[in-house]
Structure 1
Amino acid sequence: MELAGLLRVERGVTSVIGSGGKTSLIAALARELPGTVALATTTRVRPFAGVTTLDGGDAGAVAATLERERVVCVGSPGGEKNRAAGKLAAGALGPAELAELADYVLVEADGSRGLPLKAHAPWEPVVPAGSSQTILVVGASGFGRPVREAAHRLERFCELAGCAPGDVATPELVARVIAAEGLATRVLVNQADTDELLARARELARRLDVPVVAGSLRAGRLVELRA
């Protein structure tokens, strides 16, 4: 089954949160989905290679680009901090407005500083109103590493998981965080490139009550672990 089918991505707005491959997931979905696709953020995101970026100030320009190129990224360079980091902030058109121009809108709704695991601060994620689902990405490369090395928002992660920073990150601890937050309608465990990591993804799936897909976006191998 294709990625979009595994993740049940429908027309309208889909939000992507978590860590360990959000941008890769959005890029892969943009390549696969039929029709037009607008890529956006409610926080910050790196530009997508090979995709035209517009600030969204002109809806007509967005529509014309989608007609010509099928996929467009809408984001603003924002302030000096964003420009220095090479990232885009939210564009002038919000996800709901983009949904009137594109068949699909994929929104990166939080950040993770490149770490494979994450807990969310009270002010995040910034999931836009009207989002049909929220896909939480988990980086399997974080399993087996000390929590302090693998998790963004370390203090919050430890609080929700009931662990110490030096504890090893296990599927059980990650499941505790996901369950306590209750943010995800679906989970994608990415970076499960080996049989051992896929087995840990299966253990995580057994401890959750939401649908779970796992595998490797890089290798293009994904399986549904929990429907």
Structure 2
Amino acid sequence: MISYFRDDRLCEADSFLSVVKPDDTECPMIAAVGAGGKTSTLRRLAEEYALMGKKAIVLTTTHMREETTPWSCVAEEEEWISKGNALLERVKECLEQYGQAWIGARAKKGKMSCVPELILAEIESWNVPLLVEADGARMLPLKVPGEQEPVLLPQTTHVFSVYGMDALDQKLEEICFRSEKAAELLGKQPEDQVTEEDIIKLACHEQGGRKGCPKQAEYIVVLNKADTKELQERACKIAKCLHENGIKNIFVTSYKL
């Protein structure tokens, strides 16, 4: 389920791309930051491109879980350096066969990290949309970025800032990555419950969801895990406040519905 906020209400959308239309740019680089559904959002975007008959590459500038799909192209960093041409051919094969490729350097604990800079530069020259996971949250539904986070490339054209609606009414210290930093930013105690106002503040704050967003990039908020009617109604209230604060594109999603 994907809805977008327009005219004080939620409207059903066929896709993210039908609303945001990033293909208006020559070669979009779409980054996902925040918590509560970054990888799922990028997966949905990759599927949308494939359904349109277009290709997309998914990668990370930090760490993300390694995919086990046929379109996963993950290798040791040394291999990307020593066998880069062969691996790039594999990426091209995935793009032709599946319409998408997920690429990365193999890391610990079943994760992958960013490919070497030379490989990234080569891939950028292909003029294929790049979908970048630019933040980490340890599987929690909320986060506040650290000093070096998020890792947004300067050529980023769109930033999808993701929030998990299942954080509402939960203790900040239990569901927020960097909860002490979040408590300071929100003026709360770590044991306080998360409210709609907290998500609004995080999404609008220059040290929250907007942190590091390049000036030319379009900032988009995704209120994910709105898996019940109640959460959808609460997300709509959040979206209205975000819109009043100048955020143009706000989505309410549930990848379960």
Q: What TM-score results when the alignment is normalised by the length of structure 2?
A: 0.77
Partner residue of 2:72 out of 35, 46, 52: 52
1:191 is the counterpart of 2:215: no
- Runs (5+) with no aligned partner, structure 2: 1-13, 214-218
User: 1:49: Cα distance to partner?
Assistant: 3.9
Name the counterpart of 2:58.
39
Report the secondary structure of 1:207's partner residue.
helix
Q: Structure 1: how far apart are the matches of 2:72 and 2:46?
A: 13
**Paired residues for 1:1-227 under 5 Å:** 1-10=14-23, 11-33=27-49, 34=52, 35-50=54-69, 51-55=71-75, 57-58=84-85, 59-77=88-106, 82-83=107-108, 85-93=109-117, 95=120, 97-101=122-126, 103-181=128-206, 182-183=210-211, 185-208=219-242, 209-210=246-247, 211-219=249-257
Report the secondary structure of 1:125's partner residue.
coil
Q: Structure 2: how far apart are the matches of 1:180 and 1:69?
A: 38
* Matched residue type, 2:225: Q
- Runs (5+) with no aligned partner, structure 1: 220-227
User: 1:156: Cα distance to partner?
Assistant: 1.3
Q: Structure 1: how far apart are the matches of 2:96 and 2:185?
A: 45
Structure 1 consecutive aligned stretches of length 4 or more whose deviation exceeds 4 Å: 93-96
* Matched residue type, 1:46: R
User: 1:198: Cα distance to partner?
Assistant: 1.1
User: 1:218: Cα distance to partner?
Assistant: 2.5
* Matched residue type, 2:235: A
Q: 1:96 to 1:176 in 2, by over 3 A?
A: farther
User: 1:92: Cα distance to partner?
Assistant: 2.2
User: 1:20: Cα distance to partner?
Assistant: 0.6
User: 1:199: Cα distance to partner?
Assistant: 1.7
**In angstroms, what is the RMSD of aligned CA positions?**
1.9
* Matched residue type, 1:175: I
Q: Structure 2: how far apart are the matches of 1:54 and 1:113?
A: 21
Q: Structure 1: how far apart are the matches of 2:156 and 2:96?
A: 23
Name the counterpart of 1:222.
none
Structure of higher CA gyration radius:
2
Q: 1:7 to 1:190 in 2, by over 3 A?
A: farther
Contact 2:74–2:112 under 8 Å retained in 1: no
Q: Structure 1: how far apart are the matches of 2:120 and 2:28?
A: 9
Percent of aligned pairs sharing the same letter: 29
Residue deviations 1:89-146 (CA, integer Å, cap 9, x gap): 1012565542322521100001000110111112100011211111001000001111
* Matched residue type, 1:12: P
Residue deviations 1:161-211 (CA, integer Å, cap 9, x gap): 111111110110121122222346010111001111112212221222312
* Matched residue type, 2:240: R
Q: What TM-score results when the alignment is normalised by the length of structure 1?
A: 0.86
* Matched residue type, 2:157: S
